[in-house]
Chains A and B, each alone.
Chain A
Amino acid sequence: MPEEPMLRVENLVKHYSINNGMRGRRHGAVLRALDGVSFQVAAGETLGLVGESGCGKSTLAQTLLRLVEPTSGHVYYRGKDVYSMSRKELKDFRKHAQVVFQDPFESLNPRKTIGQIIAEPWTIHRGLVPRAQWRSRAAELLELVGLRRDHIDRHPGQFSGGQRQRIGIARAVAVEPDLLICDEPVSALDVSVQAQILNVIQDIQREFGLGVIFISHDLGVVRHISDKIGVMYLGRMMEYGSESDVFERPRHPYTQALISAVPVSRSERETALPRRILAGDLPSPVNPPSGCRFRTRCWQAEAICAEREPALETHHADERTRVACHFPASSIALSTDLIPGP
């Protein structure tokens, strides 16, 4: 049996029932925010998760941490099922798995000082850091994320978005986790600040040897930080492979479309993909298309795509990338088939 990875996610499903007044007619409808997702993260490894807004990325992050209960499926942290943990085990798990949220203006309590915010996990997990050292340790963490020691007595309102995100990162690593989930940590920030925050995350990842799940709707952001990439669409994983495979030999039409939209210099990729602009809107997760969920926007769709849902699997014996498509681009064909970009 292969060695147990740090985090193993198996067929995770989260359905929200939406039977509130707004959709009176659809009494009892379910929204399939997450519809059977599996992946693994090893210690020290960074998994990038990409997908359009609304495809279930945040739901995945919250369900992983059991901040919301799943509909079905399993998450194993070091072999232990997170969803059958006792209260005490769960508390302990939350010392090991931490999260950085998307909105830096919402994720810090406006009434607290930065020192109080960073020390909050230590008030919960007594014995992690002795009380006498809270201040000095918080100050060290501030420096670690590139802020200054004397910021410690200020309130979140006195900081910019980028600075707040640094504070959020400092708070997340205060418990010395070994898994860090970053849910679009730079999406709310100015482009000029994004790279700095990415660097902070990457530095911390290296320094502590963290496993990282990095979520973004922007492939370009995920690229440089990730070892593995998972591409999500409407609550499903469409392609899952190493960073270089997914970027250089994207097999799924959806991945190809996403990558073709990322601006790259020609030197970076010899044969640029033809630019694919996705037609149509994202279908509703309440009523996803039959068969392959991507078929309503896929230029390769055939009859079978509406009938059978393709499984996420490898298509050749000697490759590791897994693709959920009946007609994945073959890795060899790609470079000759496609016309070089303009």
Chain B
Amino acid sequence: MTLLNNDQENVENDSAEEAPRLSLRAAARSGPEPLRAADGLWRKVGHLLRRDVLGIAATTYLVLLLLTTVVGSFVLADSARNTNLHLRFVPPLSTQYGWEYVLGSDALGRSFLAQLTVAARTTLLISIGAVIAAAVVGALIGTVVGYARGRLDKVAMRIADVMLAFPSLLLALIVLYTLGAGLGSLILVLALARIAMYTRVARAETLAVRERVFIRASRAFGAGSLRIVCTQILPVIANPLVALATLEFALVMLAESALSFLGLGVHEPDVTWGGLIAEGRNYLQHAWWIALLPGLAITLTAIATNVLAELVRKAAESE
């Protein structure tokens, strides 16, 4: 038997020499699924990307969008605020007034590139914030009730049904009326409307995992339910939830745009793409770009995240 007091040095030497041979052997023995379980989700997405032109285009767009937003919100913060009544409604695609006006200007003569970028930051912040909030809360609830089963589970699923059937505009009106408009309440509204989706998916996944032997092993060690949910179940069901969250992003962003368009979104000086469209509606005849460009941004971003979501879903399912 290998003893506890094994000579340290020997072991070290041993392993240095044997490492490649042994790891080969281990891989060969583990049969049809070598190393697969250890592969990260994003690494697999990267793998799928290599053979997917649309995926590459979508990812490139999203990376550029993120970069522009992060860099732009520093560089362009001032020009987004600087009004210049001599430069009202400058049409886009000319550098006559400097690179900041390459996408034209708005009714107050502000650089529209700067407006778009600043709006992008708010839009992304709200959408990502709402997606993460909904995912975390929804997944936790779904996993807990899926693991606990019984009455709690039944009640939670009824509530989820009601929440998904509830008109989101009505929900938005209620919440915004009680809490007042603002970044926080907008995120809350958008998250509340989608929590039930994650609850359902997390619950279904949990039901499949809870009977597995390693969960029973945890219980045999004396682990409590909350510990099992957090340390054993959530890591296993994370991938489908990440896939869902990626898919949900576009939906949430569109919902945010709709609310902003209806004037239920953030207020000045904050602005989102949806808010820009609402503003542009007044100038459709002579300044088409004010409504069109943010609309284009919303559409492209929604398509790109959906393409990415499809890849994530494929990667998550290839487990």
Contact = CB atoms under 8 A, between A and B. Distances in A.
Interface of A: 62, 65, 67, 90-92, 94-95, 98-99, 101-103, 106-112, 120-121, 123-125, 140, 143-146, 148-150, 154-160, 163, 168, 171, 175, 199-200, 203, 207
30 contacts: A62-B216, A67-B219, A98-B220, A98-B221, A99-B220, A101-B213, A106-B212, A106-B214, A109-B232, A109-B235, A110-B37, A111-B235, A111-B236, A111-B238, A124-B223, A125-B222, A143-B2, A143-B11, A144-B2, A148-B15, A148-B22, A150-B15, A154-B38, A157-B30, A157-B34, A158-B26, A158-B30, A159-B29, A159-B30, A160-B31
A149 B10 CA distance: 12
Contacts of A148: 11, 14-15, 18, 22
Given A149-B11, A158-B26, A158-B35, 20 more contacts: A67-B216, A67-B219, A67-B220, A99-B217, A103-B213, A111-B238, A112-B235, A123-B231, A124-B222, A124-B227, A145-B2, A146-B1, A148-B11, A148-B18, A148-B22, A158-B38, A159-B26, A159-B29, A163-B26, A200-B1
Given A90-B222, A171-B217, A157 B33 contact: yes
B218 interface: yes
B27 interface: yes
A109 B15 contact: no
Contacts of B38: 154-155, 157-158
B37 A157 contact: yes
A107 B30 contact: no
Contacts of B2: 143-146
Contact of B4 (A94, A120, A143): A143
Q: Is the interface of B mostly helix, strand, loop or mixed?
A: helix
B51 interface: no
Contact of B214 (A94, A107, A140, A149): A107
Contacts of A110: 37, 236
B96 interface: no
A175 B221 contact: yes
B170 interface: no
Contacts of A175: 221
B286 interface: no
B36 interface: yes
Contacts of A171: 217
B53 interface: no
A158 B220 contact: no
B318 interface: no
